[in-house]
Chain A
Amino acid sequence: MNLPLRDITESRHMPEVKVRVWPLTGGIHPEENKRQSTSVPIKSVPMPDKLILPLSQHAGSPAEPIVAVGDRVLKGQMIARATGFVSVPVHAPTSGTVSAISSEAIPHPSGMHDECITLIPDGKDQWCQLQPINDYKSVEPSTLVELIRQSGIAGMGGAGFPAAVKLSPRSPIHTLILNGTECEPYITADDMLMRERADSIVTGAEILQHLLTSERCLIGIEDNKPEAIEALKKAVAQSSNGHQIKVVVFPTKYPSGGEKQLIQILTGLEVPSGKLPSDLGIAVQNVGTAVAVCDAVQHGKPLISRITTMTGEALSKPGNLEVLLGTPARHLLSAAGINDRQLDALIMGGPMMGFTLNGQDVPVIKTSNCLIAGTRGEFPPAMPAQACIRCGMCAEACPSSLLPQQLYWHAKSENHEQLKHHNLFDCIECGACSYVCPSSIPLVQYYRASKGEIRAQEARHAKAERSRVRYEHRQTRLEREQAEKEAKRKANAERAARLKAEKAASSNKESSAVPDPVQAAIERAKAKKVAASTTTNKPAKTTLSADQKELRIQLSLASAQLKKTRRALTQAQEKGEGDIDKLSADVSMLEAQVAKLQKEFETAAVSEPSAIEQPSAIRQQPRAEKNLDNEAAKKLKIESAMAKAALKKAERALATALEEGSSETEALRDAVEEYRQKADSLTKELVDANTGKPAKSSADDKKLKVEQAMAKAALKKAEREMTKAQELGSDDTLSLQDKIDECRKKLEQLESGKPSVADNATGATSSSYPVKTETSDDLKKLKIENAMARAALKKAQRALDNAEGDTQALEAALTKAQTKAAEAENALAAAS
């Protein structure tokens, strides 16, 4: 297949060098319609009343304004700076005043609005200080690349990729290709530029050669531009570096000007799928970009204007105009003699890949190579699509050797596997298939839609996969924690049993010293009594005292936090990113905290028997009252159990929902609602029970109730957030789940404290309550801190929600926020 179509004998300078060209795969020959706009030289346009400068005139992240409304700016002054590597700044095309920084209609296929700086020219056209470089060869390439970036140069061919990015390639470049193909019908901007500014193109090529240290430069032109070819050959012959630059002419065929296609035509090489031309050692730049580079380096002028072809049957004076960026289309169309009554379709770009505009108010931007004011006869509305008869004309036209008709069938049936198998993503959307389709099927539109669907689906899958991994990690963590808890509980129970046994043994020793039957009987009675008292004390002994419980919860919280942070740290270390120092500091802090809590807990466990004696003694006193309240307490206990059951149910539903994605949120919501109702009735019962109690305990009760209500509110809030997150399909449901669990734990803790309050209705106060009132100020502070941490957490989660793609940085922030929130909560728990 690699047969040379024709050999081109080079210009006078290198008369014997023959340049081989390879044929384009597929391709079409649409009506060229180029003559209309090449009969007159490039003209300038009168200064418009205002210039609208979109912040995003290029591919990549939009620029950021560095002027304010009302500022006076000079021609060539930077008014918006680049934000990031793939971004370019925007410069003022003339001197004037910034009148607005607002959302305006921009040239975009969707007809959307975007941030623009509006400039009112003052008519003076006053340049800012320019800094031309006289001898670029003595300047470091990296300095020149930075200069090109700061000059706001983005690819002038239509895609608008920042030129500086392409000039900082990953691998060495041996061939620079200047694209003067201009294969789209109607457009003649590059043709006229090559005819009139061939010298600048060659100088630009030399500068680019110097930057890339490439061995050769090929300027590719289709053979339908003889004047441009002649002009460029002349300019090359006069250049000092001319022997490195070759003008290569090849047959006219659409889409020869596609980057990949041009590389194929000029070198016979194919850019591997998913790779870049630089991987082949090739860099492709548009001829217009070369001129912009020349202007930027030799004259110090940033990119503030471009050549735009004005054509179409609705114009009486078609031609090419040198246009200041930001000039509204309306101004240019009237300069080109628009006939508004005939105008039916306004196309920016060519008829094959350009897009229609909603109106005439959009400005010309760095990528606007053509404006076609078409009449109805010129661009008749699309015919209704007929059935695909698989004629295969599309496959013959496809420059990527795809099977468009198969892609069409699979796109219609949304068979994404087959679409990928048929290499949908190698489609360059040139439109050749749609052009030839005898059934008028909008094939390219099907491919665009399918590409969008597949991208969205893959993003969803990646998200679901991340969530699944997180969920599984959480499940194992919970199981592990449960096991640890169980082990601890057993250990404590054993210790208590041992203590009891020791006690019994010592008393036995005493009794065995005096083997008196009467004494023995007394001892037996005593033992019975002791046994009875231990039975009454049993709940306090086998479960734990309030202090211990609290400590244990704190401990488990802290150790959970520690584990989490450790995991984050390992992850960060593995990936070599994130704030490792901060994380390791957190880990050591948490380790210290856990150790401290563990110690405290153990101390509490050891001193437990003596600690509980007092409350139990107090508890025995008001037995009568206790009996009175028995009924209420029982009821409350039942209620509590019910609430717990509901809670479990909600939990189960939640787990299911998590496993199956967000589709089960209905069930979850129901379950949560049910739980909420139970909790409400519980509160009511509690209030009922409390109303019957003496006034003495009401203060404590109130406090307890307030706390309980707060915990419930927090739980509800967390659950609401959860529901919302699941509805939105957010992937941070796990962190929310953690939060819900924490809240729930707190609530349980409060609830477990409640029966004892009911028991102590006569006035026995839990030892922790006075402490609380003393430290209420601290508590307040902690609560505020807690709320703040929660807000931070929420913010991070929201940011995570919004972020697409790589969320590692945000996840790190989230972890940080979670740590903070947990710390605050621990502190709060410790204080209360």
Chain B
Amino acid sequence: MTLVRQTSPHARSPNSTQQIMKWVLLAAVPGLAMQTVFFGWGTLINLVWCILIAVGSEALVLKIRQRPISFYLTDGSAIVTAVLLALALPPLSPWWLTLIGISFAIIIGKQLYGGLGNNPFNPAMLGYVLLLISFPQEMTQWLPPVGAAGHTAVKSFSEALFTIFPLFGHPINIDAISMATPLDIVRENTSLTMKELWSENPAFQYFAGRGWLWINLAYLLGGLFLLYKRVFSWHAPMGMLAALLVMSTLFWGGAGSGSHGSPLFHLFSGATMLGAFFIITDPVSSATSNKGRLIFGAGTGILVYVIRTWGGYPDGVAFATLLMNMAAPMIDYYTQPRTYGHKKPNKGLPEQH
């Protein structure tokens, strides 16, 4: 019989890209659960809707590009993009908002660059930023978390469904029930001390705001699971969290009216943990070497704080990630590790001959 001919190595680890994507999805479950608990069914409905659009648009482009559809769809990367964007969107975002965001992320942000592995930007964040710039009003309509005043407005599944898809029923008026996030409130506060601010907004108990703290802790848990599974190294998340900690400590400003929020407030509010463990760890659009990833993470952390504190948007994870995505190739050029047998690492571009 004919023997198999192939090049070494003949042994392979059971590792697979699908497995990595599955772990990422699994690690997102605690955060998703917390978000659902605090913001209602909207999050889950959004998630399903997002996955449907993502898989649909991925399949569409693959068909146009004449690529084997099932082979590429099964890598699970489109689903991960969908989940990350769904988690970042306000819980009762209208269906068309999601449709625009996710199809842009998959078609423009990923497939037009050549599909998985070739996209310079994190597709989910690209979709998010597109929506944030184009539809700022819809993108800031966050609901009050459970336990805060007004949270009872959206109780049932059908109410959430019809709010997202108003074609079939009567939507609730989101404007009436939405409220600013703690990050927004702190950013726009100029007169009150932190204590007064918190007492005025009983929804924001605890140091990072009711709900937000728990959601961030859940993402931290998922992130630690991924670290344990060695899906990514500690460098990028550590870089980001450390940079954010340093920045928020340096520019804290105490508890007075000029305060920019405590370090703990910044670490556990907004999309900090989601960003640190699920967004900037996207290897495709991040830097390559460990040193590069540390720099990449630190850069993101600094930019997140700068945008949150002095920028025009309540949270800066998406912008910071995209800006650092742009810097990633250059970071790569200057952070090659020192190769065995070499005195110094190679830096920059190769000399042209």
Name A residues whose Cβ lies closer than 8 Å to a Cβ of B.
Answer: 25, 28, 30-31, 109, 111, 185, 260, 264, 270-275, 340-341, 343-347, 349, 351-359, 374, 376, 379, 381-384, 386-393, 395-396, 399-403, 405-406, 417-418, 420-423, 426, 429, 431, 434-440, 442, 444-445, 448
Contact = CB atoms under 8 A, between A and B. Distances in A.
Contacts of A405: 288
B10 A439 contact: no
A245 to B, nearest CB: 27
A557 to B, nearest CB: 40
A438 B24 CA distance: 14
B9 A434 contact: yes
Nearest to B114: A387
Interface stretch (B178-186, B306-314, B342-350): B342-350
B337 interface: yes
A437 B15 contact: yes
Q: Which interface residue of B12, B233, B332 has the most chain A CB atoms within 10 A?
A: B12
B338 interface: yes
A256 to B, nearest CB: 13
**Main secondary structure on chain A at its contact with chain B?**
loop
Contact of A352 (B6, B8, B288): B8
A31 B283 contact: no
Contact of A423 (B13, B232, B346, B349): B346
Nearest to A420: B350
26 contacts: A109-B7, A260-B341, A264-B340, A272-B341, A343-B1, A344-B3, A344-B4, A345-B3, A345-B10, A354-B10, A376-B4, A381-B6, A382-B12, A383-B12, A384-B71, A388-B117, A391-B232, A395-B290, A400-B341, A403-B336, A417-B350, A423-B346, A426-B339, A426-B341, A438-B19, A448-B7
A536 B12 CA distance: 93
Given A389-B117, A390-B283, A438 B16 contact: yes
A421 B283 contact: no
Contacts of B339: 273, 400-402, 423, 426
Given A387-B115, A403-B288, A271 B341 contact: yes
Interface in B128-181: none
A418 B117 CA distance: 19
Contacts of A358: 3, 5
Nearest to A379: B10
A578 B45 CA distance: 85
Interface in B300-353: 332, 336-343, 346, 349-353
Contacts of A382: 6, 12
Interface string B241-273: 000000000000000000000000000000000
Contacts of A349: 8
B10 A356 contact: yes
B11 A351 contact: yes
Interface string B275-304: 000000001101011100100000000000
A379 B15 contact: no
B13 A30 contact: yes
A274 B232 CA distance: 33
Interface of B: 1, 3-13, 15-17, 19-20, 71, 75, 77, 115-118, 230-233, 283-284, 286, 288-290, 293, 332, 336-343, 346, 349-353
Contacts of A435: 9, 11-13
B284 A403 contact: no
B5 A356 contact: yes
A423 B342 contact: yes
B114 to A, nearest CB: 9
B10 A391 contact: no
B11 A396 contact: no
Contact of B10 (A260, A341, A374): A374
A403 B337 contact: yes
A438 B17 contact: yes
B7 A444 contact: yes
Contacts of A354: 8, 10
Given A351-B11, A379-B10, A403-B337, A422 B117 contact: no
Nearest to A428: B340
B117 to A, nearest CB: 4
A409 to B, nearest CB: 9
Contacts of A444: 7-9
A105 to B, nearest CB: 12
Nearest to B75: A386
B4 A379 contact: yes
A405 B118 CA distance: 13
A264 B339 CA distance: 13
Contacts of A417: 350-353
A416 to B, nearest CB: 9
Contacts of A401: 337-340
Contact of B288 (A30, A343, A406, A434): A406
B61 to A, nearest CB: 14
Given A346-B3, A356-B10, A431-B9, A395 B288 contact: yes
A357 B340 contact: no
A392 B12 contact: no
Contacts of B353: 417
A629 B12 CA distance: 89
Nearest to B348: A421
A399 B339 CA distance: 9
A351 B10 contact: yes
A420 B15 CA distance: 29
A30 B346 CA distance: 31
Contacts of A28: 13
A392 B6 contact: no
Contacts of A341: 1
Contacts of B288: 390, 392, 395, 403, 405-406
Nearest to A381: B4
Contacts of B290: 392, 395
A401 B349 CA distance: 18
B305 to A, nearest CB: 26
Contact of A434 (B12, B20, B115, B342): B12
A355 B350 contact: no
A384 B67 CA distance: 14
Nearest to A345: B4
Contacts of B230: 393
B11 A30 contact: yes
Given A389-B117, A421-B350, A440-B16, A273 B3 contact: no
Contact of A418 (B231, B341, B342, B350): B350
A132 B343 CA distance: 47
A404 to B, nearest CB: 10
Contacts of A386: 17, 71, 75, 116
B11 A352 contact: yes
Nearest to A347: B10
Given A387-B115, A406-B336, 12 more contacts: A270-B340, A273-B342, A351-B9, A351-B11, A359-B3, A389-B20, A389-B283, A390-B117, A390-B286, A395-B337, A403-B337, A417-B352
Contacts of B8: 349, 351-355, 429, 431, 434, 444
Contacts of B5: 111, 356, 358
A402 B337 CA distance: 7
A724 B138 CA distance: 74
Contacts of B11: 30-31, 185, 351-352, 379, 435
A272 to B, nearest CB: 5
Contacts of A406: 288, 332, 336
A497 B313 CA distance: 99
Contacts of B342: 272-273, 423, 426
B75 A356 contact: no
Contacts of A271: 341
A2 to B, nearest CB: 14
B75 A400 contact: no
Nearest to A432: B9
Given A399-B340, A426-B341, A436 B13 contact: yes
Contacts of A434: 8-9, 12
Contact of A392 (B17, B75, B283): B283
Contacts of A389: 17, 20, 77, 116-117, 283-284
